[in-house]
Amino acid sequence: MFARGYLYYMLEIFEKIKKNNLKIDDFNNLDKATLITTLLVECAKSDDNFSETENDLIKRILKNKLHLEDSDIQNCLSKATKNSEESIEIYSLTKDIRDNFNKEEIILIFEYLWKIILSDGVVDDFESSMMTKLTGLFHLSGKENAEAKNNAKDSLNQ
């Protein structure tokens, strides 16, 4: 079942595409960032402990990797947190991302997800299970998932 907030948000994006005859490349950065951030928040909450460290890391990813301004970061994080609180259905979210991002971008998103999971130094069973599920939902191989995890580890150790 779709969460109401997430459904309305996605309908708003798709309405914008249809109305303006846009392609995904015409999506604004904030729309794309909100999809990614919703997934990052879901991942951070998978162990029932959305820590300040994870929140700060998501903000750094939005600023340094997705190149958002501070005001957009707060807006994006607020929308993503609201989507998450309204119990989004992970299959729908991953399908939207799969349909709107290429494989290289999805692998990069996986690196971001692993950064969030690894940020507290512990990968618990819920987080591991979520990443296994996401690997399948995004049609990635175990090798691609492992490479994303290793890249995230290397990035965190720098």
90-104: per-residue pLDDT in tens?
777 788 788 878 899
CA-derived radius of gyration, the chain: 15
Residue whose tokens read 């965190």: 156
DSSP state of 25: G
Splitting the chain (158 residues) into consecutive groups of 10 residues, what average pLDDT does each group show?
A: 41 49 56 85 85 92 90 90 72 80 91 92 88 92 96 90
Give the fold, CATH level 3, of 4-21+29-156. TerB-like (1.10.3680)
Residue 116's CB is within 10 A of a number of other CB atoms, namely 26
* Whole-number Cα distances in Å, 35 to 7, 48, 146: 12, 21, 23
* Whole-number Cα distances in Å, 88 to 76, 80, 133: 16, 10, 15
User: Within the chain, what is the greatest distance between any pair of CA atoms?
Assistant: 46
142-153: per-residue pLDDT in tens?
999 999 999 999
Residue 121's CB is within 10 A of a number of other CB atoms, namely 7
> Domain spans of the chain?
4-21+29-156
CA distance 22 to 20: 5
| Per-residue tokens: 32 | 């794309």
| Per-residue tokens: 85 | 């609180």
Output the pTM of the full model.
Answer: 0.76
